[in-house]
Structure 1
Amino acid sequence: MKVAVASFEFEGNSLSLGVARREDFVRLGMFEGDDIYRAVAGKQLSLSGALDTLTEAGAEILPVFMARCVPGGHVEDEFYEEALAKITDGIAAAMPVDGVYLALHGAMICATEKDPEGAILSAVREKLGRADIPMAVSLDLHAHVTERMADTAQIIVGYETYPHVDVYRTGACAASLLVRAIKDEIRPVTRIRKYNAIVPVLGGATLNDEPMAQVAALSRAIEASGRALSVSYFPVQPWLDMADVGITGLAISDGDPSQAEAVAQEVLDAIWDRRYDFELPAMTPREAVEAAVVADGRTLIIDAPDSMGAGAQGDSPALLAALVRHAPDIESAVFIVDPETAALAQEIGIGGTGDFLIGAKQDSRWFEPVQVTATVTHICDGQFTYSGGPASGIQNSTGPTAILRAGGIRIMVGSYSIYEHLDEHYAACGIDIATCRITSFKNLMNYRKLLGPGVQYIPLYGPGAAPLRLQHVEWQNRVRPFWPADDMSLPMPAPKSAVSDRKIEHQ
């Protein structure tokens, strides 16, 4: 078996102003050829799972390209086309191959291409020149799976868990099905079903008996029954302002398209039937701070509207303003992206005190900077390593970073937006969150790993690039009626995928 492998992962957000450029991908890691092996060694990534599985199966592996970036608004066209060319040209150079494995996110946005991952798969298929060479793809649970993706790849497997703890297993599963397809042990057929609906991410945990956990249990039961080779569910990244985005059920059958469609429909209906259960209670920043002050133990305040893991800029000062006003002496920690303030703090130096205007510089649509008089207590480069999740083992950085103290508030001011896993970024800059009554996180799910006796969480709602109340967003491209903007008793099929008229040419 000769298998080409590549990875190109980015999660977009139509409401975010962020633009991911080549340097942003390089900062987190971009590799070609055998350097990919060294980049993923010992890490729990989708690509690692696939490589290990293919190696165990005795395949000759041809590593082509790997690039990933923290979530944001959209990928700059120039870099998207560069990455696409590297993938397709690399596969063309490796021909002939018996199969292809791709690690994608599934919710990429580009300025021009309207179906980035679908375009990648189509371009790869064109290079292969044959429809019967199996392609396997691993995706994030929040992927926007298009008809073109499902029509082009015989095998699509999504993460099962949220928080994402099965990333390695997902890559291994996709690669295992690929090996079986190459050996003619199975004839995989992927089908999707999709409704014109989106649901809040915050309520989408697959923990305990929560709504998505029930959908997950149903999916695993279907697999165990033999009705499908693999079942995936995609509650989707809801801040994609595209007409064809919607909750999705996906199934892979062994040569039976009608069976795959039936299973995909069953899983989709399971998500739809639980749609009311995905919206969780939330508070304004002031309400959350006041509740945390009187609570027993520690409180994690989840700045959901500014979630960097959802593509927001990470520079909302709304919670900082509430802490300064309502709990200035409570031991607390907040992280804000503000390279200007980080640079000023470095000029002032450790031990110096200054007046700082913090936040709302990357995205000033909803808030103004907060004025704070603070002392610089720590300066660092913000380097840390993820201890788990979809980026497990990968190094990242908040860039030039300063810790400011104002009363009991420790303000970690970084230069780069990051994907938060747990508290690795705080710890790397000398903040032990166990000493804080209040800690802010700008992610929508990973913080749950930190909960336990004496540790509660309160989510925020309000304006931002990742708002919880999806029905209040001024959507530009969604087709009405759709849930939850319209309280529909019966679901509507999602509109057909919009495909760009532009054909990307490769030399």
Structure 2
Amino acid sequence: MKVLIARLNHETNTFSPVPTPLAAFNPSYGDEAYRANKGMRTAMAAFIDLAEDLGATLVTPVSATANPSGPVHAPAYDELTRCIVEAAPGCDAILLDLHGAMVAENSADGEGDLLARVRAAAPGVPLGVALDLHGNITEKMVHHADVMVGFKTYPHIDMYETGEHAGRLLLQMLRGEAHYCVCWHRLPLMSHTLRSTTLEGPMQGAVAAARTLEAQGLPAVTVFAGFALADIEAPCMSVVATCRADGLDAAQAAVDGLARQIWGRRDDYVYRSEPLADSLRRAQQLAADATRPVLLLDHGDNCMSGGTCDTMDVLQAALDLGLSDIAVGPLCDPEAVHTLAAAGMGAEVEIALGNKVALDHIGRHKQPLRLRGTVRAVSDGSYTVTGPIYTGQLCHMGRSVCFDIGAAQIVVTEQTHEPWDLGVFHCVDIDPTQFRYLLLKSRMYCRPVFVPLSAGLVECDSPGVTTSDFGRFPFAKVNRPVHPLDVL
């Protein structure tokens, strides 16, 4: 028995100027792809464990994942999908660890087009996929999958469990124990990422309802929040169920019912930003009597949604309002790192910092911020995550510098990086717990580590390519009407 297992993950922000060539995926092939996932917390790792328990021969053509960024370059998409498609013939089952919101220069439906090609290469072979909660589900994806299961957590901590769920159902098909198909209901609703957390609010309730449907007998039910920062036909929420073929009508009715519940709370999935100055004044009030740092989350420039990590709006506004004792990071500016590292520790330097990546798709062009300060530390920007997300993973930010401008100490890096862990500060000798404010370029993933250490959290919406202000994005391809671009 041969089981094809592969991983290809990318969440595409079509407004992002960050390029996505093949190198961005750091792909591994064959045995290396197997080793990159075995024992990890990915959906592909779960597929591997299930197939090995079955005594199957594993075919692992590729494992490739890139941080959210602009459309995948056509040669990269062609190469990575070719690896999967060419491995499909002759396999008895196919399990794919995908994202669900990939857009390539030559494919507006990256996963749907891939699944159609895989199905054509291996007709009749059971095909299952595990997807991210932020997948933009399409008719083509649903039509060509026998099993489809998505994450039920954001921040995402159930990648392995999702893979185990999808793989278990598909192997039931392989053993002739069941025949599954997929049904769905897509809503004309573009949800905001900050309203898709499963820790609270409407998404928590929707996921709980999906779990109830599973407890009542549906094999798998997923609420997909979608990823709205993509100018495609429908970057929208969906409810998807994997069901028994002989129970399709009942499953569709259940899916439709859950979709109606979500639609009834559609305004709760919309995040309405306050003016940046108002956010910072609230932070000042929180910090007045606090003994721990106040978190300032610059979610308008978050690399895990395609941000450049080099916009300076929040820091500049904070300095203009007189905030001080701020730890900032990570801010990506390779040119500044080169200058600061060359100057060396202890050197006083004036540099042009940030605002160097043009945000052409949203019409933003700002000049770098001129700052004078002292180089306090230079490192290779490596640290090991202590948890709870990606525990034990070694992270690299490229060369990293602590730049002290008096009112703030700024972690400047060569690479964009999500602040998963205190290590982003510790690696340049900063103790983030000793500051009045922590300004992080993050939306959600920093919270499990930094929120427990803080006196409070203030979300700061800056005008970057991950802003929650949909009015800044020139959507041209989205099917209208759709909420909240249109009042429905």
The answer, yes or no, to whether TM exceeds 0.5 is: yes
Letter in 2 for 1:478: V
Distance 1:427 1:89 in 2: 45
Determine if contact 1:31/1:65 at 8 Å carries over to the other structure.
yes
More displaced 10-residue stretch of structure 1: 373-382 or 52-61 = 52-61
2:340 is equivalent to residue 350 of structure 1: no
Map Cα deviations across residues 382-416 of structure 1 (whole Å, 9 max, x no partner).
Answer: 22344557755544322122110111411111121
Which structure's relative contact order is higher, taking Cα pairs within 8 Å and 6+ residues apart?
A: 1
Kindly state the Cα deviation for residue 82 of structure 1 after the two structures are TM-superposed.
Answer: 0.9
Equivalent residues in 2 for 1:354-393 (5 A)? 354-364=349-359, 365-387=364-386, 393=392
Q: Which runs of 5+ in 2 are unaligned?
A: none
The letter for the 2-side match of 1:217 is A
Describe the superposition over 1:245-280 as per-residue Cα deviations: whole angstroms up to 9, x where unpaired.
221110011113323322322232232222212344
Match of residue 249 from structure 1: 239
Aligned to 2:75: 78
Alignment correspondent of 1:213: 204
Aligned pairs for 1:424-435 within 5 A: 424-435=423-434
For the structure 1 residues 82 and 386, does the alpha-carbon distance in structure 2 shift closer, same or farther, using more than 3 Å as the test?
Answer: farther
1:355 is paired with a residue of what secondary structure?
strand
Distance 1:140 1:389, change over 3 A: farther
For residue 317 of structure 2, give the secondary structure of its aligned residue in structure 1: helix
Contact 2:293 2:453 in 1 (8 A): no
Matching residue's letter, 1:252? T
Partner of 1:335: helix, strand, or coil? strand
Structure 1 residue 68 displacement after superposition? 0.7
1:141 is matched with 133
Residue 298 of structure 2 contacts residue 462 of structure 2 at CA under 8 Å; is this kept in 1?
Answer: no
Q: CA deviation at 1:439?
A: 1.4
**Bigger mean CA deviation after superposition, 317-326 or 283-292:** 283-292
Q: 1:444 to 1:277 in 2, by over 3 A?
A: same
- Deviation for aligned residue 1:206: 0.9
Tell me the alpha carbon deviations over residues 192-217 of structure 1, each in whole angstroms, 9 at most, x when there is no partner: 21122201111221114x21110011
Greater shift, 37-46 or 398-407, is seen at 37-46
Contact map agreement 1:164 1:389 (CA 8 A) in 2: no
Query: CA separation in 1, counterparts of 2:390 and 2:8?
Result: 13
After alignment, is 469-478 or 149-158 more displaced?
469-478
The alignment status of 1:278 with 2:269, answered yes or no, reads yes
Asked if the contact 2:418/2:446 (under 8 Å) is kept, the reply is no
Mapped partners of 2:85, 2:385: distance in 1 = 30
8 Å CA contact retained: 2:50, 2:164: yes
- Secondary structure of residue in 2 paired with 1:302: strand
* Percent identity of equivalent pairs: 26
For the pair 1:479 / 2:470, whether they are aligned, the reply is no
Partner residue in 2 for 1:118: 112
Instruction: Check if 1:42 corresponds to 2:39.
Output: yes
* One-letter identity of the residue aligned with 2:483: W
Give the drift of 1:43: 2.0
User: 1:25 touches 1:67 (CA, 8 Å); kept in 2?
Assistant: yes
Residue aligning to 1:269: 260
C-alpha separation in 2, matches of 1:260 and 1:429: 53
Taking the aligned partners of 2:419 and 2:117, their CA distance within structure 1 comes to 33
For normalisation by structure 1, the TM-score amounts to 0.89
- What's the offset of the Cα at 1:331? 3.6
RMSD over equivalenced CA pairs, Å: 2.0
The aligned counterpart of 2:186 is: 194
CA shift, 1:472, in A, is 5.1
Describe the SS at the equivalent of 1:169.
Answer: helix
**8 Å contact kept, 1:157–1:174:** yes
Map of 1:62 onto structure 2 = 59
1:12 is aligned to: 12
Q: Which amino acid counterpart does residue 414 of structure 2 have in structure 1?
A: S
**Structure 1 residue matching 2:60: 3-state secondary structure:** strand
CA apart distance, 1:320? 1.7
Does 1:316 pair with 2:311? yes
- The alpha carbon displacement at 1:105 in A equals 0.8
CA distance in 1, matches of 2:402, 2:229: 31
SS in 1 for 2:156: coil
Per-residue deviation at 1:458?
A: 0.9
Instruction: Report the alpha carbon displacement of residue 314 of structure 1 after superposing the two structures with TM.
Output: 1.2
Q: Which residue of 2 aligns with 1:25?
A: 25
Q: Does 1:467 align with 2:467?
A: yes
